[in-house]
Amino acid sequence: MTLFKQIAIMLSIFLIIILSTVLILNFQSANDGVQKRLFEDAKNTASSLSLSLGSANGDITMMSTMINANFDSGNYQFISLEDIDGKTVYSRKADIQNINAPDWFINLVNIKAPIASANVSAGWSPIGILNVQSDISYAYSQLYSILKNLIISFSILTIIALVVLYLLIHAVLKPLKQVQLQAEAVARNEFITQTNIPNTKEFKDVVVGMNTMVQKVKVMFDKGNEELKRQKELEYIDPDTKLKNRKYLIDKLPSYLKIDASSKGGILMMVAVSGVIEANEKIGHRDVDGLFCEIAEIFNSFAGNYFNSIVARMNGTEFSILLPDCNDEEATDLAQAIRDSINEAIEKKGLETDVTFVSIGLYEYNYTQNIAKLLSLSDNALAQAKFSDSKIHLDHAQSATEVMGRDAWREIINKAIERNGFEFLSYKAVDTRTKKDVHNALSISMSVDSQTYSFGQFMAPANQAGYGHDIYNKILEMIFIQPDMRLKDSTCSLRLPYDYLDSKETYLHMLKLFESHASKLPFKLIFEMPDKLISQESETIAQYKELFEKYGFEMAVFEFIGESHDYKYLQDLRPAYIKGEVDYYLNQSEQSLSALRLITDSVGISLIATGAMNMETLEELKKKDIYIVQGRVTEIL
């Protein structure tokens, strides 16, 4: 219960007790007044009527007429006249009347009407005694009417008092509400500074303290952000040409060499500049550096026509150009155009192209290759190019052996989609410090006609056949419509690829599923999104964030290599964790990892290493302060 409610209830009860006490006292006073008035009325009537009866000189007929006249004109229970011997000479008694008040009121309020007496005499001769009692039915009606009016007036007063009390408490505790909102924001790792400082000393001290803490955390994040940007520029950017470097290419290649990559292959172009020593001697280092900058611009202009291409400087004289979805014919034409453009730039510098020239090795890769093999075969193509007359050489990757043809795959995948032939598999992410599971990373297998296919077997043919979106739609439907109850009360993560998330239809499909089934999901779900998409801070990402927060889901980052120009998107999106390959963490400098941890610690983001295969790797990660891992090593922890 909130402090506002506690204070409001306590003061409201206190106010109601006070008003109720005043109401009871007022009613009691009215009751005493009514009973006193009953006696006074009876006493006054007895006194005045006894004088009148004395003038009748004992005439019973005249006295009875006087008694009847008074009885009929007033509210009396009875009037009686007794002689000096105590015998009743004449009496008049009221008929039984319905009291205009409820029974509970009559039983609760006890009204007694006293009998007033007066001597009746004719001169000095006593005639008798006159007894008068007022009618209590009239008193009950009057008193009940008074009670109703008191209740109505006090109810109105109570309501007004409670409203005023509510407004006063709200005004007094308004700064506390702002403190509460600020505290909740801090718990969500949001940096909110309260500008309205309350005048109440206790609240003021709390607000100033909270603001100071938030400012310190924000400064810590900003320092980490600036340091990480500086380190990434040092680690990923060639200082002379401003191109990416070899380290960037190696860290980035895993996202191109995977089963569900948006591109299934392409060309890796290796370019070597020969005759640099001679060029330095002839035109000087400064002009040679200018030549390399011009060559870099040539590479960027030609590579810009290919989505997600990478231009990197591998060393002082060698460059690489990764061209996804580029075929061998396009690559050969492109290599010739690049060679001709570079030769033209060399000649403009006053150099001879038979002394200073470029060699271009082209290697047609596919997603099944690993990084070491890709770079080795690309270097081999470059070596062949140096001995070629055209200085251009193309090598092809050995085609992956397919288990079956595309038509067969289409038929199997169609059956699996129609028959819900997918089954979830889970791989643990474990905190090595506590040996506890952090979450279960979900993957799927496909079963059709008693044959089971792993994700690695069927996903690539599915993407090539255009079934990728359909499969991920089916996966989401299985999670929300037919959830696996073995995962009940656990935390699970689902990795979604760039192409699938970048589709507007995906957002609408998720929205429809969430509206109908999100509240019934028996486990906590985290959606993992590629850093390449999240770091864009696009409207699409903002929509996903709002959608996930609305239905209680978290988002996380995978394929993180820190290539963004600014890391404030981590503060804005606040992912649950960041997943990066083991090699990424191990190859980072201590300065880069320290800056990254400074950012993530300030906003409550965990770092997770994927692909940890053995205990030796695990020990190396611990030295880097990376303790949460996913991979084969979790099976032996």
Q: What's 451-480 look like in SS3? A: EEECHHHHHHHHHHCCCHHHHHHHHHHHHH
pLDDT recorded at residue 629:
95
**Structure confidence at residue 63 as a pLDDT band (50, 70, 90):** confident
Mean pLDDT (the chain, rounded): 85
Domain regions of the chain by residue span: 3-160, 240-396, 406-635
**Structure confidence at residue 401 as a pLDDT band (50, 70, 90):** very low
The CATH architecture of the domain made up of 3-160 is: 2-Layer Sandwich (3.30)
* CA–CA separation, 637 and 429 (whole Å): 11
pLDDT recorded at residue 567:
87
pLDDT recorded at residue 522:
93
Polymer length in residues for the chain: 637
Choice among 152-156, 404-408, 455-459 with the minimum mean pLDDT: 404-408
Query: What's the burial of 399, exposed, middle or buried (CB within 10 Å: 0-12/13-18/19+)?
Result: exposed
Cβ–Cβ contacts within 10 Å for residue 171, how many? 9
pLDDT recorded at residue 405:
67
pLDDT recorded at residue 1:
65
Q: What kind and span of H or E run contains 217?
A: helix 201-236
pLDDT above 90: residue 226: no
Question: 309: closest CA among 331, 288, 342?
Answer: 331
In sequence order, the 6+-apart residues with CB closer than 8 A to the CB of 495 are 441, 442, 528, 558
Backbone phi, then psi, for 493, in 5-degree steps?
A: -125, 145
Cβ–Cβ contacts within 10 Å for residue 489, how many? 8
Cα–Cα distance list, 308 to 261, 300, 324 (Å):
12, 12, 7
- The mean per-residue pLDDT over the stretch 253-266 comes to 82
Cα separation of the two ends of the chain? 43
The SS3 call for residue 269 is: strand
- Of 512 and 62, more confident: 512
pLDDT above 70: residue 163: yes
Own/partner contacts of 351-356, CB < 8 Å, gap of 24 or more, are 351/275, 351/279, 351/282, 351/283, 351/291, 355/275, 355/278, 355/279, 356/273, 356/274, 356/275, 356/276, 356/278, 356/279
- The mean per-residue pLDDT over the stretch 249-270 comes to 86
Quote the pTM value.
0.68
pLDDT above 80: residue 441: yes
pLDDT above 70: residue 545: yes
Render 563-575 in DSSP notation, one character per residue: --S--HHHHHH--
CATH classification (class only), 240-396: alpha beta
In sequence order, the 6+-apart residues with CB closer than 8 A to the CB of 528 are 493, 494, 495, 496, 555, 556, 557, 558, 579
* CA–CA separation, 297 and 537 (whole Å): 27
Question: 178: closest CA among 166, 165, 190, 195?
Answer: 195
Alpha carbon dihedral 568, 570, 574, 579, in 10-degree steps, equals -170
Superfamily of domain 406-635 in CATH is EAL domain (3.20.20.450)
Cβ–Cβ contacts within 10 Å for residue 619, how many? 10
- Percentage of the chain lying above the pLDDT 70 cut: 96
Question: 518: closest CA among 479, 556, 472, 480?
Answer: 480
Per residue in 173-220, pLDDT (tens digit) is 777 777 777 777 766 667 677 777 777 777 777 778 878 877 777 787
**Number of C-alpha atoms within 13 angstroms, CB side, residue 175?**
16
Question: 633: closest CA among 619, 616, 617, 613?
Answer: 613
- Of 310 and 367, more confident: 310
